[in-house]
Amino acid sequence: MRLPHLVLAVLMIPVMAALVVAGGRALKSGEATVAVEQIDPSADTVSQPGTDGVPEEPATSAIAAPPPPAASPHSRAIDPQVVAPPELPSKELERVEPRAPLSKLALAMPPKPKMPDDWKGTKLFQPVAPAAGLIEAKGYSVAVSGVDIVGQDETCTSDGKSWPCGVRARTAFRAFLRGRAVVCAVPPEGGRDLIAADCRIGKQDVGRWLVENGWARAAKGGPYVEVGEKARSERKGIFGSAPSLSGVPSMPAARAPAPQAPGSILEEVGGILKPADQPTPSE
């Protein structure tokens, strides 16, 4: 029985090869049609009684692939590598004025930077007072707020006499500072322009001291207006009379000029310099 089976297997090889070749040719065909069996609903697939015939096969039709959608009349090809400029009208562009702000909030200035909660001011070491109410230290130039600075070249008139009250006020302010560190409400880092700020030495308010002692005028609407009026009524500082110089010792008298040194150490006899004695040579 093995020999017939072997002969049958050998005969089936060419048949299978032919079927494979025929299937490959069918796949390579470029036709895009698909054969679909279409069943006619009007046809009765069940055989009527009394008929011996087999029902006819339904008709088949080839349905072609749907055509690609037509391009829109307003569409255009877009190249992702090219940026096309927008279409501009033929007339020239006209620049118009900007619109007015919608509200007053648009005109508001930016808020000032907030200081830390534990910030108590900036210490300015070794302060220098160019004038009463003006402090320079650590690169800052601070005008004590609440007072009007008394310039060093300012003069005051009292009882018909003019005296340099600006220099006197500066001297009194320097004596008050005495090189002590001043704590002013200036930012730790910032510009080096003139800054108006509150300053204190320890717990003593610098601006109040200046106005209270009459070495500065209270600014209008400031916190030291009442103190300034009291100092003016009591004629303190620059509001008082010229300082008395009676207790100051007078300038000492000029001394006689020192004798003029001779032009030569040699003795002059009859207008002729006498030669110096020569030492006796030792034997």
Phi, psi (5° rounding) for residue 142?
Answer: -115, 130
Q: Please check the confidence at residue 37 and state whether its pLDDT lies above 60.
A: no
pLDDT at 172: 94
Identify the pLDDT of residue 120: 73
Helices (H), the chain: 2-28, 165-177, 206-212, 225-233
Confidence at residue 34, expressed as pLDDT on a 0 to 100 scale: 47
Q: What is the pLDDT of residue 160?
A: 82
pLDDT of residue 246: 61
Short-list 219, 243, 245, 216, CA closest to 232: 216
| Position 47 pLDDT exceeds 70 | no
Quick one: pLDDT at residue 98? 83
| Coil, helix or strand at residue 25 | helix
141, 88 in Cβ contact below 8 A? no
Contacts (Cβ under 8 Å, ≥6 apart) of 240: 158, 214
pLDDT above 50 (res 196): yes
Please state which of the ranges 138-152, 217-231, 260-274 shows the lowest mean pLDDT: 260-274
Whole-angstrom distance, CA of residue 202 vs CA of residue 204 = 6
Average pLDDT of the residues in 180-198: 82
Tallying the residues shown for the chain, one arrives at 283
In this prediction the pTM is 0.48
| Residue scoring higher pLDDT (32 or 214) | 214
The answer to whether the beta carbons of residues 169 and 150 sit under 8 Å apart is: yes
Given a cut of 70, whether residue 35 has pLDDT beyond it is no
Which phi-psi region, left, alpha or beta, contains residue 235 (left: φ > 0; alpha: ψ -120 to 50)? left
The average pLDDT across 192-214 equals 91
**Confidence band (pLDDT; 50, 70, 90) for 45?**
very low
Name the token pair of 108: 């508001």
Predicted pLDDT of residue 1: 54
pLDDT tens per residue, range 146-163: 999 999 899 998 888 889
Which pLDDT belongs to residue 36?
A: 46
Q: Residue ranges per domain, the chain?
A: 122-239
Helix/strand/coil for 177: helix
pLDDT digits (tens, 9 = 90+) for 57-93: 555 445 556 666 555 555 566 666 666 666 766 777 7
C-beta contacts of 175-178 below 8 A and 24+ residues apart: 176/209, 177/127, 177/129, 177/135, 177/201
SS3 7: helix
Average pLDDT over all residues of the chain: 75
CATH code, 122-239: 2.40.50.90
**Is 229 a residue whose pLDDT tops 50?**
yes
- Detail the DSSP E strand segments found in 85-218: 122-124, 128-131, 134-137, 140-144, 147-148, 156-158, 161-163, 182-184, 194-197, 199-201, 204-205, 217-218
